[in-house]
Amino acid sequence: MHSDNHYYDKEITRQVISVVVLNENNALSRIVGLFSARGYNIDSLTVAPVEGSDYSRMTIVTTGDKRVISQIVKQLNKLIPILKVNEHKDVIEKDTVLMKFSIDNNLADIDVIAKTYHGSIQDVTDDAIIVSATDSAARIANFISVMQKYKPLEIVRSGIVAIER
Amino acid sequence: MTGAKMVTESLHEEGVDVVFGYPGGAIMNVYDEIYKQDNFQHILTRHEQAAIHAAEGYAKSTGKVGVAIVTSGPGFTNAVTGLADAYMDSIPLVVISGQVPTTIIGTDGFQEIDAIGISRPCTKHNYLINHIDDIARVMKEAFHIASTGRPGPVHVDIPKDITAQMGIFDYSKPVDLPTYKPTVNYNKRQLKKAMEAISKAKKPLLYVGGGAVLANCSEEIREFSKLTNIPAVETLMARGVMGHDNKMFFGMLGMHGEYAANMAAHETDLLISLGARFDDRVTGRLDQFAKKAKVIHIDIDPTSIDKLVDTNYPIVGDLKVTLKGMLEAASEMKFNDYSNWNDLLLEYREKQPLRFIDSTETIKPQWPIVRIGELLGDKAIVSTDVGQHQMWAAQFYPFSRPRQFVTSGGLGTMGFGLPAAMGVARGNPDKISINITGDGSILMNIQELMTCVESKLPVINVILNNNYLGMVRQWQTMFYGNRLSETVLDAQPNFQMLVEAFGGVGYKVKTKEEFDAALKDAVKQKKVAMIEVIVDRNEDVLPMVPNGHALNEMTLIGDTDA
C-alpha cells in the first residue's frame, strides 16, 4: 500500500486508556472479552463508579504498535454500553502497592524507604507490618524491587488510575 | 399483561410478520402467547441452528430484521453457530432465548447455561432481562441496534419467571441510547479530498463489498460508475450490486476471483473501497494487495478502517448517504479519461475469461449453475452452502440485483443453505428459492426438509454431487500430496428417496436433458425439491490464488492439468 499520507510505525508503545461505561452486569466481561478475543494486552485494569452517574470509569494500560492501539480505541468505542474512550497523551497516573513484612525486619529502614516513595507503615500486628505506597507505576515497580531484600510475605498492587493533565 | 405477552406485543409493534423457532421449557410462556395471537406466523424448524439461518435468509433477501426464538440450554447453544454466522456477515437479527428462572440462575439448573456469556463475542449486543419493566425497552433497543449502523444480531435472554410476571407494557418511549450513535453523515472535507484524488487517478477501481448490499445503494454505485467511467469489482458478499451485464463490472475478486478482477486490484492506482473489509480471502497476500494504489475507504464501521491496510482517505459514514454526496460532487467535476484503463481490463477479460471446459460425457459442476441462470435468471434467489459449489455459484450465476445471492461468507457455515433458502422462500413468495449445495453440506441440516414440507416452503435444492468434500479435496490434491483424508464420501443416502420420505419431490440426473426436465418440473411442483446432479468429481475451482500468494499469482485453467 502507498503510505504517503500517514503510516503506522511498528514501534510498541505503552498506552493508558480510560473508558466511561454504563453500569451493567456485563460491561466488564465485554471489555475484557474484547481484549482476549482480539489478542490485545491488558497490563493493568482498574474500575470504579463515576460519582453521581450511571457510569463507571475503567483505566486500562495496554501495549501495542500504533495500529493496534488505534484498533483498541475504535473497538472499545464500538461496544454498545461505552460512552467515551480517552486515549491519554499526558497523564498523571498513580499505582498503589500494599506489602506485608515480618516484624523481625529493621522497621526504621523500611519506614524510611517507604517515605521516599510517598508511602508509610499502615498496620502493625504481633508478627507482621503492612506498608503501602502510592506513586507512578514505574516508581512502584522500583519500590517493590528495592523492598525485596526485606523478604515481603505478600505483595498486592492496585493497578493504575490516571487523569489527564 | 404478562412478560410473555409483552414479548409477542413487541414483535407485533416492530411489524414482524414471521418468526422462526423451536419451543422448550424455559420459553413456554412466550410460546403460549404465540399460540394465542395471529399478528405473525411462527415457523417451526427442526433444529435451532436452522431457525437462525432461516431468519438470516429472510433478513438477507428482504432487508428486514430476522427474528428467531429458542429455549434455554441446548436450544440456545444450538443457535450459536447461526448467531456467529450473522455476526460475521452483519445480518440484522433479533434472537430471543428462554432462560431458567432468575431464582435458579447460577445453580446449574436443568437446561441452564450462561447464554449471554456465550453469545457476547458473536453478537452485536446482548441482554439478559432482569426485570419485567425492562422488556419493552430492551426489545425496542434490540431492533434498533440490530438494524442501524453496521447491522448485526442482537440476542435477548429472558428468564422464565420474568415472562410469567405481570406488568404494564408501554412501547411508545423512543429509544434513548446515549452510548450508541452510529456515524451516518460523512466528513465533508474528507470526501472533498477523496473526490480530488479520484479525479486525478489514472486507474481508479471501485471495490464493492457487502456493505453496499446492507446500505441498499446498488443504484448509486451503478450511477457513480457510469457517470465517472470507473470500473468496479465485487466481493463475494456484494454479488449482484453491479449486475452481471453491466459493462463497467469486471467480476468478483479474491481467492477464486475472475482474472480481470484480480488484475484490476493488482494494477489500480486508487482503490475505492465501498463497504468492503479487506478479508483475507479477498486480498490474498496482504502486503502485495493493491500495492500500487492509494486507498479510499468508506465504511459505517470505524473499526473496519485501518484494520488491515493503511488508508489514505478514510471516510466514516452511511454508504448510501456518502455516495449521494459523491454523485453530487461528481456532477460538477471533471474526471480523467479512464478508457485506456477500461480497455486494459477488457483485454484481461478476453485473455482469461471466467470459464470452464464443458464436457459432453459428464456434467461439469459449473454447468447446472449456468443453466439455472439461463432458465430462471432474475426469477430466482440463490442460496448456497459452503464449499466448491458456493464458489461456482458466485462465479457463474448471472446475478442482476443485490439480495439475490444468500451465502455464508464470513463464517463459512456448512448447513447454511437449506434453512437460509427457507427464509428466502418465506420472505419472497413471488421468487423461486434455489439452494445450490453439495453432497457434504446438505446433510448438515437435512432435517429441514420437514420444515419445508410442513410450512409449504418450495425450496429447490440442487446438489452438485461429486462424492467428495470437494473444496477440502481440492486443497488436499493441490497442497497435501493428494492424500484424501476423510473427504471421500462414498457412503451416500439415496437422495431421491430421502426427500420423498419427507414428502417432497426428488430427481437424480446424469445428463443435461435430465437436468432441464427436473428443474422445470421442480419449479412447477411448488414444493420442496431435491435435484441430485452427478457431476465430474475431479473438477477444481479456478482461478485460484493459493494461500499466501498475491492476487496476480493465480492458478488458471490449464495450469493444473500438467
- pLDDT tens, position by position, B59-114: 999 999 999 999 999 999 999 999 999 999 999 999 999 999 999 999 999 999 99
Residue-wise pLDDT tens digits, B396-432? 999 999 999 999 999 999 999 999 999 999 999 999 9
In a domain, A8, yes or no: no
| Residues B296, B270 contacting (CB under 8 angstroms) | yes
Smallest CA-to-CA distance from B209 within B201, B200, B218 is with: B218
Q: Where do runs of H (alpha helix) occur along chain A? A: 27-37, 66-78, 107-116, 137-146
Number of domains in chain A: 2
Q: Domain limits at A23?
A: 13-89
Residue A29, domain CATH: 3.30.70.260
Domain boundary (A63, A89, A115) is at A89
pLDDT in tens, B280-316: 999 999 999 999 999 999 999 999 999 999 999 999 9
Domain boundaries, chain B: 3-164, 188-351, 366-534
A vs B: CB pairs below 8 A: 60
Return the CATH class of domain B366-534. Answer: alpha beta
Classify residue A115: in a domain, yes or no. yes
**A98 and A82 assigned to the same domain:** no
B292: DSSP letter: T
C-beta atoms of A2 and B306 within 8 A = no
**One domain for residues A115 and A98:** yes
Backbone angles phi, psi at B68, to 5 degrees: -135, 150
What is the reported pLDDT for B558?
A: 83
Which of A5, A26, A70 lies nearest to residue B120, judging by beta carbons? A26
Q: Do domains B3-164 and B366-534 have the same CATH topology?
A: yes
| Average pLDDT score, chain B | 97
- pLDDT greater than 90 at residue B471: yes
| Cis peptide leading into residue B546 (ω within 30°) | no
Whether residues A85 and A99 fall in one domain: no
Within-domain flag for A4 = no
| CB of B318 closer than 8 Å to CB of B151 | no
Q: How far apart (Å, rounded) are the C-alpha atoms in residues B457 and B433? A: 9
Considering the domain architecture, whether residues A84 and A135 belong to the same structural domain is answered as no
Nearest CA in chain B to A83: B179
pLDDT of residue B560: 65
% of chain A at pLDDT higher than 70: 95
Its ipTM equals: 0.90
| DSSP, residue by residue, B24-90 | -GGGHHHHHHHHH--SSEEEE-SSHHHHHHHHHHHHHHHSSPEEEEE-STHHHHHHHHHHHHHHHTT
Q: How close are the terminal C-alpha atoms of chain B, in Å?
A: 73
What is the domain-level CATH number for residue A110? 3.30.70.1150
Counting residues of chain B whose pLDDT is more than 70, the rounded percentage is 99
Which one of A89, A124, A154 terminates a domain? A89
The pLDDT score that the predictor gives to residue B165 is 98
Count of CB atoms situated within 10 Å of the CB of B50: 29
Residues contacting residue B429 through CB under 8 Å, at least 6 positions apart: none
The beta-carbon neighbor of A81 closest among B117, B179, B313 is B179
Q: Are residues A41 and A79 in the same domain?
A: yes
In CATH terms, is domain B3-164 a member of 1.10.3210.10? Answer: no
DSSP B502-530: HT-EEEEE-SHHHHHHHHHHHHHH-S-EE
Give the pLDDT confidence of A39-74 residue by residue, as tens digits.
999 999 999 999 999 999 999 999 999 999 999 999
User: Average pLDDT, stretch B174-188?
Assistant: 95
∠ CA B410-B416-B419, nearest 5°, is 140
CA atoms within 13 A on the CB side of A85: 22
- Pick from A2, A26, A67, A72 the residue to mutate for testing the B interface (most B CBs within 10 Å): A2
**Residue among B127, B310, B316 with most chain A CBs within 10 A, to mutate:** B310
B471 is catalytic: yes
B125, B292, B310 member nearest A3 (Cβ): B310
Residue A84 lies in a domain: yes
* Torsion sign (Cα): B515, B521, B525, B526: positive
Search chain B and give the residue with CA nearest A7.
Answer: B310
pLDDT at A2: 46
Q: Are residues A76 and A125 in the same domain?
A: no
Q: What is the pLDDT of residue A8?
A: 57
Closest CA to B285 of B545, B541, B88, B559: B545
Q: Is pLDDT at B497 greater than 90 in this prediction? A: yes
Which cell goes with B386? 459452503
Tell whether A2 is covered by a domain.
no
Active site residue B486: no
Tell me whether residue A149 is in a domain: yes
Is B508 designated active site? no
In a domain, A5, yes or no: no
Q: What is the pLDDT of residues B195-213, one digit of tens each?
A: 999 999 999 999 999 999 9
With 80 as the cut, is the pLDDT of residue A92 above it?
Answer: yes
Distance (Å, rounded) from C-alpha B76 to C-alpha B72?
5
pLDDT of residue A95: 95
Considering only alpha carbons, which residue of chain A is nearest residue B127?
A26
Q: Would an 8 Å CB–CB cutoff place A165 in contact with chain B?
A: no
Do A48 and A68 reside in the same domain of the chain?
A: yes
DSSP A107-136: HHHHHHHHHHTTEEEEEE-SSEEEEEEEE-
Q: Which pLDDT band, with edges at 50, 70 and 90, does B561 fall under?
A: low
Q: For position A88, what pLDDT does the model report?
A: 87
Say if A114 falls within a structural domain.
yes
| Fold exhibited by the domain B188-351 | Rossmann fold (3.40.50)
In this structure, are residues A42 and A32 in contact, taking their beta carbons and an 8 Å threshold?
yes
Domain boundary among A57, A72, A89: A89
- A145 and A108 in a common domain: yes
DSSP B251: E
- pTM here? 0.95
pLDDT in tens, B109-154: 999 999 999 999 999 999 999 999 999 999 999 999 999 999 999 9
Å from A77 to nearest chain B CA? 9
Contact B258, B192 (CB under 8 A): no
Distance CA B316, CA B190 (A): 9
The count of other CB atoms within 10 Å of the CB of residue B172 is 8
- A122 and A136 in a single domain? The answer is yes
Residue of chain B whose Cα is closest to the Cα of A81: B179
